[in-house]
Chain A
């Protein structure tokens, strides 16, 4: 059984702070990694994808991947109240995606 683990939260941060979201996965053969954001009652939307070890930055978002430790993280700089949502980590293994249950982020004004 492939597993993707996330802390369910809620993670509360003040506006303007850095939010750090973490994810671990069980399958060393996983090839690609994704972060999705999901607002309540809405469908998941892609924030970042990362395929190789290291950091990948896109605006206020930075994804970090460490395959040796089977760990992927998402940093959100200058957090805004509009970032309040559930963040899903997804790991791809061949044809299938495996999702974590998500971390709920609350950004307080």
Chain B
């Protein structure tokens, strides 16, 4: 394993509530990513970070925000959860921008 943990691993929440997912790494990698995975869509990038306080949007960033105040932690926040955000969320890390990404175990989120 690449030293990546995600919390919580499972969460059930209600529409309209805020939700924060945490990704923690012990590898001191510069790049961190949040993806969502849905049937038929593969992995889609939500946001990524290329350093502390340096973040950028991915292809499905609407409704999500991120923060990275420390190298080891990357937080994904759903400001007001909707049923369309029910998904499996994966965090990934990489040493460099074109280098291999290693994935965390995932968080299953159900928005009722």
Contact = CB atoms under 8 A, between A and B. Distances in A.
Contacts of B101: 34, 46, 90, 97
B104 A43 contact: yes
Contacts of B42: 4, 88, 99-102
Interface string B9-48: 0000000000000000000000101010000111111001
Contacts of A99: 35, 42-44
Contacts of A101: 40-42
Given A99-B43, A100-B42, A92 B98 contact: yes
B100 A43 contact: no
Interface in A86-108: 88, 90, 92, 94-102
A32 B103 contact: no
Secondary structure at the A interface, as helix, strand, loop or mixed, is strand
A102 B103 CA distance: 16
Contacts of B58: 96
Interface residues of A, number: 23
Interface residues of B, number: 24
27 contacts: A4-B42, A31-B98, A32-B98, A42-B105, A42-B106, A43-B90, A43-B103, A43-B105, A43-B106, A44-B90, A46-B100, A88-B42, A90-B43, A90-B101, A92-B98, A94-B98, A95-B31, A95-B50, A96-B48, A97-B33, A97-B45, A97-B101, A99-B35, A100-B42, A101-B40, A101-B42, A102-B42
Interface of A: 4, 8, 31-32, 34, 42-46, 49, 88, 90, 92, 94-102
